[in-house]
Amino acid sequence: MSRPAAPDRDPGLQPERTHLAWRRTTLSATVAAVLAVRAALHTGASPAAVAAAAVCGVLWTALLVLAHRRIRALAAAGSPAALPPAYAIAAALGTAAMAVCGAVLVL
């Protein structure tokens, strides 16, 4: 029951670098989500603004879950699998949806 250890390790730390790239991305999303909530509070909390900020919060949570799952997959033993296209599409569409919520908040 011994796992293949040392030769599996990538000397270029590619999975770790990818892990950190996901973390940086969630951090950027956090900044955007916080600004969205701030915008909703400052514009007098109209129903449309609150809804847009709530959607931003949901999108942010979804991105955190996505990043968490991807990081878990990267940390698994053996050479990591490529990013599933569904993850990439979800992350990109989520960001675009955040921009749409932003337009609602600004107008």
Partner 1 sequence: MIEFARTVRLWFAPARIRREGSTPDYRFSLANERTFLAWLRTALALVGGGFAVDQFLPDLRWGWRVGLALALLAAGALCALRAVNHWVRCERAMRRGEDLPVSRFPALLGVVIAVVALAMVAVVLLGWEG
- CA 34 – CA 22 distance, rounded (Å): 18
Residue 79, judged by CB atoms within 10 A of its CB (0-12, 13-18, 19+), counts as: exposed
Is 59 near partner 1 (CB under 8 A)? no
Is 24 near partner 1 (CB under 8 A)? yes
Is 39 near partner 1 (CB under 8 A)? yes
Is 14 near partner 1 (CB under 8 A)? yes
Residue 68 carries which side chain, given as an amino acid letter? H
Shortest distance, position 21 Cβ to partner 1, whole Å: 4
Shortest distance, position 32 Cβ to partner 1, whole Å: 4
| Cβ-count burial 1-26 (b if 16+ within 10 Å, e if not) | eeeeeeeeeeeeeebeeebeebeeeb
Which residues of this chain interact with partner 1, rule CB under 8 A?
Answer: 10, 12, 14-15, 17-18, 21-22, 24-25, 28-29, 31-32, 35-36, 38-39, 42, 79-86, 88-89, 91-93, 95-96, 98-100, 102-103, 105-107
